[in-house]
Amino acid sequence: MQLSVKSSTFAPIMHVVSIDKQTVNQMPLVTFPGRIHVINAISQVKSAVAALSTAPIVGFDTETRPCFRRGERHNVALLQLSTEDDAFLFRLNKTGLPAPLMRFLEDKEHVKVGLSTSDDFHQLARVSDIHPGSFVELQEFVKRYGITDMGLQKIYAILFQQKISKGQQLTNWEAPQLTEAQQRYAAIDAWACLRIYKHLNAGLFTPESSPYYHELVLEEHL
């Protein structure tokens, strides 16, 4: 969809879809409706990838242990892939990037949907020489629908009027065991990418009908 723009006496006006943080914070929290599978060992990877391969489209995300000191750097600790019903959390800090998983990420038969994927690819390149295939970048995809917010939390809120909690974002993703809260957070991030893509692609969102569709007055530069 093209952003609608009209001129006025004073400045051009563009219609966009966006939401403010206060509105998002008033929404009920998202809950993950499916099953979560934590992949801690290389021996679990093949069967997990086989299960994912039955879905033509999956959601994608990664998590990295946060850095709190100057010069500190960590590799990707967790890679999430989710169908509508099952989220697989691959603990790369324990397994590395095994061949079956790498082949899945590189193949062109299965569509993988993520957000800020260039950052994920940059982080994964530190682990292995990977060439991602058939990825959809949501930050670009949502622009077709007039959505100008680029964060997962706001995009999801616009479409589903629910809030994705970010409370676990800065926790230790290299901990010996992931907490249930971490698992839910990681699963939701990948699953939400998939749900957003399928909702938009199915034609279930009309920008003009959204309560967050509004005018944006542009400044004129003379």
Residue 222 in domain: no
Domain CATH number, residue 212 = 3.30.420.10
pLDDT at 13 over 80: no
Average pLDDT for residues 61-75, to the nearest whole number? 83
Q: How many domains does the chain have?
A: 1
Average pLDDT for residues 11-21, to the nearest whole number? 88
Which of 155, 158, 154, 145 is closest to 206 using CA atoms?
145
pLDDT at 68 over 90: no
Which stretch of DSSP H or E encloses residue 162? none
Residue 87 in domain: yes
Q: For the chain, how many residues are written?
A: 222
Residue 208 in domain: yes
pLDDT at 9 over 70: no
Residue 30 in domain: yes
pLDDT at 1 over 90: no
What one-character-per-residue DSSP string does 125-158 give?
Answer: TTTS-----SEEEHHHHGGGGTB---SHHHHHHH
**pTM of the predicted structure, to 2 decimals:** 0.91
Q: How far apart are CA 105 and CA 165, in angstroms?
A: 27
Q: What is the pLDDT of residue 10?
A: 57
CA dihedral 67, 42, 118, 178 (to 10 degrees): -40
User: What residues have CB less than 8 Å from 9, skipping those under 6 apart?
Assistant: none
Residue 41 in domain: yes
Domain extent for 15: 5-217
Sign for the pseudo-dihedral over CA of 101, 105, 109, 113: positive
